[in-house]
Chains A and B, each alone.
Chain A
Amino acid sequence: MTLLTRAEVLNDLRRIFFEDAASDRKVAKAGEVHHWKTGDFTKNKEGQWVPVAGGKKSAAKDTKPAAGPAKAAGGEIGKMVAKAQKDVAAMFPPAPKEPKADAGAAPAAPPAAPPAPPPAAAAAPAEKPPEKKAKEKSKFFEPDPTVDENGDGVADSARVGVPGMEAPPPGGVPRLPNLNERERAIESKFADAYEHNADGMADEFLKVAAKDNYVFETDAAKALMPEWTRPDLPEDGKDPKTGFTILHPERAEARASLNTAMHGTANAIAKKAFLKRLDEIKDMPEEKRKILVTSGGVAGGKGSALKAKPELKSSVSATWDAAGEANATENPWVLEECEKRGIRATFLFVAADPKATWPGAVKRAKGIGRMVDAKVFADSYGHGGKNFKAFHDKNKGKADFVFASSADGKATITPEMDPAALEIDADELYKHASAYMEEQKKDLPPHIYAGGTAGRRIWGEPS
């Protein structure tokens, strides 16, 4: 029998498990490079965006990973491949000085790993110092949600969504680190489609928003994705007692599992569509040139308050109903865009007790499927209040502000922000929310638990 070389066997492995399996979900071509604010990314053969080594040119064509550590091989197949790769590696003695292809690392953090050096490069002296490799990994979107580089008092970015002052394009949709294989495929599909058809998709969402008095809500844009709405499934059921929707279990599963991965693109679509609406408003008579903007932590009640009082949204020409996950980082952008167009904005903030709203967010997921991760939930309270306060203090002469509170289960309007909203520590709250997920785990559908704890894999465990 002819003995295959190690490289041949590993190449076969890669072709069998990754190229063939991934071929049906590619949107952009492999090797395509995008230059984003967050760095240069290239499509690999699995249809995933990976940071370009060196930052300028595509690595996908030059760099053929010998053992595929860059593969998003999470899950069973990834484990099988990793095991097979280890077996192969054990049988074929490694060439001297050949950089180790760490197959075992692939399932743990597949998308963040840069492509491995090609076998041909093994003989060449190692070019990359270890710190450069670490830097490449950080090319995924991993902002510090407290950093304020532009000095406006408001943090520049939240962990999810697009940066506060941006509405890409220009620029691309940031890609999250450490997604699993399915999340990465969903993120890539949604983001790629938007980056190639941004105006078209924003127009589609503008029509959706128009049916709801021009309320622009990031979560609503997720419904443009078939994986979210699942038109292939039978219709949802109805609870005979309450009349509320009983989601098809697969729809519920998708919305809980994919919420984080879809958030960035949905946010970009909603922002772009909102700008289109602002362009329409700027030509309206002055009394119509006004909008509302809501801010507050996740599941704090702001969106529901708008739904409960439709007169609010119909009293203005548009409403930016910010996702709590944005940590109130979008407000300077909204105000700037309004000022450019001579539009008046009223900013509403809802303070709430996150220890009461987190169980509410979990309960809500049982009804609507969508589950917010504990880390971004904690950020929304730990950073959102501080961002809003700084924004208010700087701009109180330029816009109207309304402060409300739903703490203690009572709705009140307050002259200033509830001081308790400024004392929330994001890390402490993350710990608390994460512990709650463990307490509830046995009673929760697995997808809700997975959605609420995905942040442990993406951003790390509570410290």
Chain B
Amino acid sequence: MMKTEAKAAKADPAEKKEIEKLFKQGLEAALKDPEKFWDEENKRTAKTPVSKFLATLPMVHKKSKGKGKGKGKGKQESLVSELNDLLDSVKDD
């Protein structure tokens, strides 16, 4: 019961000062060398395991462009071609 009631909603001034000091220093460092801290995102992401709820689902891939190397697209292109032939033949009729 006691634990869920905070004694004070606010930090003591010394604690707040310390937060301000650290945050300012962090911001200074970030402004000086942003790439260093951006790269930490890459490192963190590389270490993060994929969710087990997503790992087994089929990947959504970007559609390949150009030569129709992608299996799906090749199939679809050929179907479009067939369809066009069909439409042409209907036109002739």
Contacts and interface: CB of A to CB of B under 8 A. Distances in A.
B9 to A, nearest CB: 5
A116 interface: no
A245 interface: yes
Interface residues of B, number: 66
Interface in B34-73: 34-55, 57-60, 62-63, 65, 72-73
A440 interface: no
B22 A204 contact: no
The B interface, classified by DSSP as helix, strand, loop or mixed, is helix
Contact of B11 (A232, A242, A400): A400
A416 interface: no
A435 B3 CA distance: 53
Contacts of A368: 38-39, 41-42
A214 B3 CA distance: 20
B63 A344 contact: no
B86 to A, nearest CB: 8
A286 B6 contact: yes
Contact of A308 (B26, B39, B79): B26
Interface string A229-241: 1011001100000
Nearest to A348: B23
Given A225-B51, A282-B4, A402 B41 contact: no
B23 A399 contact: no
B60 A185 contact: yes
B42 A308 contact: no
Contact of B53 (A1, A200, A208, A283): A200
Contact of B91 (A91, A212, A245): A91
Given A189-B60, A226-B50, A227-B59, 10 more contacts: A75-B63, A224-B50, A226-B59, A227-B60, A236-B46, A245-B43, A302-B27, A304-B29, A339-B9, A402-B23
Interface of A: 1, 3-4, 9, 13, 16-17, 21, 24-25, 27, 75-77, 80-81, 84, 87-88, 91, 182, 185-186, 189-190, 193-194, 196-197, 200-201, 204, 208, 211-212, 219-220, 223-229, 231-232, 235-236, 242, 244-245, 247, 250, 253-254, 257, 282-286, 289-290, 292, 301-309, 311-312, 315, 339, 341-344, 346, 348, 350, 360, 364, 367-368, 370, 397-400, 402, 404, 406, 409-413
Q: Which 6 A-B pairs have the closest CB atoms?
A: A305-B26, A304-B30, A309-B26, A411-B27, A308-B29, A304-B37
